[in-house]
């Protein structure tokens, strides 16, 4: 049973794109740029059920409990495709597209791979910097909120990257697992590929 048929991955066969956020600056900018898209408060996603949509979720402030709750919701609505955006370590991260039907890395895989990379980049066993402290707070309390202290213009890079993705041709299946880091110090972009977190069972 370790083998299964490859599932074709397409973004173009969904009814519409929906964007949800708990950040008013992001909602304001997104509404200004995309008059044809539905951009809503995150509360509306939690109150309603959607199927066969592409759902983009922007979290700021970010907290791990909310991400875990949303990841569970992703599994409950497997016909949707999800993408997550959140600030972390003075950067903004844009996740891969995730679908329960595809069995590709989920939002928790994405978050914990970021956390592991940041920990692995520390020099010295006893190093305790701001990000390590934030990670410890997350471990002790999943309700700890991290506000990236973003200005409204910081979201422009996110809008721009999403806008490029919306214009990609239908044959973009090779980009579905791509992830992006936007460094808020220099606005430089770093692309990578999302992999399964070894403690997650989303690939089963």
Q: Given this model, what pLDDT does residue 54 score?
A: 92
Residues 6+ apart with CB under 8 A from 19: 30, 34, 37, 38, 39, 40, 55, 56, 57, 58
Kindly list the distances between the CA atom of residue 116 and the CA atoms of 10, 17, 111, 143, in Å, as whole numbers in the listed order: 30, 31, 9, 20
pLDDT single digits (tens) 24-81: 999 999 999 998 899 999 999 877 889 999 999 999 998 888 999 999 989 899 999 9
Q: Given this model, what pLDDT does residue 126 score?
A: 47
- The residue count for the chain: 204
Which residues of the chain, if any, have pLDDT below 50?
A: 1, 123-126, 128, 140
Q: Given this model, what pLDDT does residue 11 score?
A: 74
User: Cβ(71)–Cβ(108) under 8 Å?
Assistant: yes
Q: Which of 165, 181, 173 is nearest to 37 (CA)?
A: 165
Q: Given this model, what pLDDT does residue 128 score?
A: 46
State the Cα torsion 115-130-126-144 to the nearest 10°. -60
Helix (H, G, I), strand (E, B) or coil at 196: coil
Q: Given this model, what pLDDT does residue 13 score?
A: 64
Residues 6+ apart with CB under 8 A from 190: 180, 181, 183
Q: Given this model, what pLDDT does residue 4 score?
A: 57
Which structure tokens are listed for 61?
């402030």
Beta pairing class for 54-58 and 81-88: parallel
Q: Given this model, what pLDDT does residue 134 score?
A: 57
């Amino acid at each position: 049973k370790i083998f299964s048929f490859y599932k074709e991955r397409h973004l173009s066969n969904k009814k519409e794109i929906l964007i949800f956020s708990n950040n008013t600056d992001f909602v304001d900018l997104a509404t200004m740029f995309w008059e044809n898209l539905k951009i809503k408060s995150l509360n509306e996603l939690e109150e309603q059920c959607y199927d066969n949509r592409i759902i983009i979720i922007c979290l700021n402030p970010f907290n791990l409990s909310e991400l875990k709750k949303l990841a569970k919701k992703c599994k409950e609505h497997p016909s949707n495709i999800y993408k997550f955006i959140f600030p972390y370590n003075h950067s903004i991260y844009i996740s891969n597209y995730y679908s329960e039907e595809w069995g590709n890395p989920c939002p928790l895989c994405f978050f914990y791979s970021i956390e592991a990379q940041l920990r692995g980049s520390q020099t010295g066993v006893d190093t305790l910097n701001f990000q390590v402290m934030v990670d410890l707070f997350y471990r002790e309390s999943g309700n700890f909120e991290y506000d990236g202290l973003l200005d409204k213009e910081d979201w422009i890079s996110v809008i721009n990257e999403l806008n490029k993705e919306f214009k990609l041709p239908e044959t973009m299946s090779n980009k579905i697992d791509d992830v992006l880091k936007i460094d808020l110090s220099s606005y430089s972009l770093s692309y990578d590929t999302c992999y399964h977190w070894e403690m997650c069972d989303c690939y089963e």
